[in-house]
């Protein structure tokens, strides 16, 4: 009975931490870090959480290794530069057409 109540407590605390992390995905805060902290709390008692955490760590490590590949880094730099040029062009065309005019009206009081 004591073990079951301990597991329920761990589950409730982990659920609260994961829910706070999920809220931080749309609110300011380190959402994913808090979600993984909640998963780590669950992993102290539940095998399924250990498996999910192990799988996540493996995928993050693989992604980090891929990001260090020179070809991938070069591609990412080119895509980022291209995106920045496109955004700069859009802003330039908007300013050329409309000037520095806000889309809403602010009345002086």
Assess whether 33 and 45 both reside in one domain: yes
* CA separation for the pair 43, 47 (Å, rounded): 6
Number of structural domains the chain divides into: 2
- 28 secondary structure, DSSP code: S
Assess whether 11 and 59 both reside in one domain: yes
In a domain, 109, yes or no: no
The burial class, CB within 10 Å (0-12 / 13-18 / 19+), for 24 is middle
For the whole model, what pTM was predicted?
0.55
In a domain, 108, yes or no: no
Query: Which regions of the chain are under pLDDT 50?
Result: none
Task: Return the SS3 of 104.
Answer: coil
Assess whether 6 and 41 both reside in one domain: yes
pLDDT given for residue 56 in this prediction: 87
Domain, as residue range, for 30: 1-68
Assess whether 48 and 34 both reside in one domain: yes
Residue 76 contacts residue 63 (beta carbons within 8 Å): no
pLDDT given for residue 85 in this prediction: 97
């Amino acid at each position: 009975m004591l073990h079951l109540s301990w597991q329920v407590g761990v589950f409730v605390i982990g659920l609260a931490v994961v829910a706070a992390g999920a809220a931080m995905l749309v609110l300011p805060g380190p959402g994913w870090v808090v979600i993984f902290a909640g998963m780590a709390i669950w992993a102290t008692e539940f095998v399924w959480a250990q498996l999910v955490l192990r799988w996540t760590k493996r995928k993050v490590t693989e992604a980090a290794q891929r990001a260090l590949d020179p070809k991938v880094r070069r591609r990412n730099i080119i895509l980022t530069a291209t995106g920045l040029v496109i955004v700069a062009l859009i802003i330039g065309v908007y300013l050329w057409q409309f000037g520095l005019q806000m889309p809403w009206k602010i009345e002086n009081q």
